[in-house]
Amino acid sequence: MAKPRAARKAPKQPALFSSLKSRRVIITFHSLGDLDAVGSAIALQRFLGKKALISPPDKPTSSARRLLDYSGASNTPFSEIKRAPSDTIVVLDASSPRMLPHLSGIVPDIMIDHHSRNAESLSAKKSINDPTASSTCEMLYFLLKPTDRISSISLLLGIISDSAGFQSATSRTFEAVSSLLETSCLSYSQIKQLAFAPESLSERIEALRSCQSVSAERIGIYVAATAMAKSHEAHFAEMLVRMGADIAFVGCEGEDGRISARMRESLRGTVRLDKIMFEAGKILGGSGSGHELAAGASGGKENLRPALGICLKLAEQQILSSESGKVKKIEW
């Protein structure tokens, strides 16, 4: 299979990053940074050296925080950094201003992202964008070709997480994963455990208790599931799809209100998860976006359950409109 033209250009990019090694680089990403955002930030920081700073806009997700601890990567909140005119700001895994409120009034120097860009996307002096990539971590692998173990593990975690367990993977994804696994000196099951498995006994018990909250209903020929979890909502949503749901929405009443959505390949083109999560983010008072088979939203906890209900209603509207052949007007 021929490789995409955009992918062939990737090896030329390291020169861009090598030129930054002598400057202070501030690496940031979207609000509530996930494994893809944090994993790519760790790999880029290790490539650039000690002058590179990882600067989260707020508290990353629990899995992402575990990765930061595991890697030993230093990080400083963006609000606590005293920026200088000579600093280079690099944004990873985001282009929507709604997910980058900390960059209001700031034009980043470099943006690396795998989400599709549109008229509302944040502008940067230089953008590296590849919507065909499963994750920003996949892009960073081909841009940097890391050879150290921590970078490899970090990128692997981001790829596995953001591809929804390889549901949105391509041959390029598996090429990256194969090389990274070899460098990481870990098996796939060990990497997956680092990405998703709750660490403590209480967390594991809580994950199993979350099963009591599952609600499933039939929408045409499909099954939709909703649930509430205390943590690891993305992993739980993927588990519901593996158990038989065609589409799943899981809310999390943790430190903030979050919703993770996952769906089967059979619904690709029928349901737009990114659009649904965009609406859910507005209801939560935050933001939402994602990919065709995996997406998420975050904000406040107050409207979490109503937002979860809206997600199901919008999915139902799209599915039934497609099945009837009469596409109803859907207000986004």
pLDDT at 7 over 60: no
In CATH terms, the superfamily for domain 5-196 is inorganic pyrophosphatase (n-terminal core) (3.90.1640.10)
* CA separation, residue 199 to residues 61, 73, 231, 232, 310 (Å): 14, 20, 11, 11, 32
Helix (H) and strand (E) counts for the chain? 12, 11
Q: In CATH, what is the architecture of 201-324?
A: Roll (3.10)
Model confidence at 200, pLDDT cuts 50, 70, 90, reads low
80: buried, middle or exposed (CB in 10 Å: 19+, 13-18, 0-12)?
Answer: exposed
pLDDT at 14 over 80: no
Site of tokens 């400083």:
76
pLDDT at 9 over 80: no
Number of Cα atoms under 13 Å in the Cβ half of residue 212: 6
Question: What's the pLDDT at 91?
Answer: 96
Model confidence at 232, pLDDT cuts 50, 70, 90, reads confident
Question: What's the pLDDT at 194?
Answer: 76
pLDDT digits (tens, 9 = 90+) for 310-327: 999 999 999 988 765 444
- 286-325 in b/e form (b: 16+ CB < 10 A) is bbbbbbbbbbbbbbebebbeebbbbbbebbbbbbeebeee
Question: What's the pLDDT at 239?
Answer: 85
pTM for this entry: 0.72
pLDDT at 255 over 90: no
pLDDT at 201 over 80: no
Question: What's the pLDDT at 8?
Answer: 37
126 or 1, higher pLDDT: 126
Question: What's the pLDDT at 27?
Answer: 97
Domain ranges of the chain: 5-196, 201-324
198 or 27, higher pLDDT: 27
6 or 272, higher pLDDT: 272
Question: What's the pLDDT at 4?
Answer: 40
Question: What's the pLDDT at 326?
Answer: 46
Average pLDDT, the chain: 85
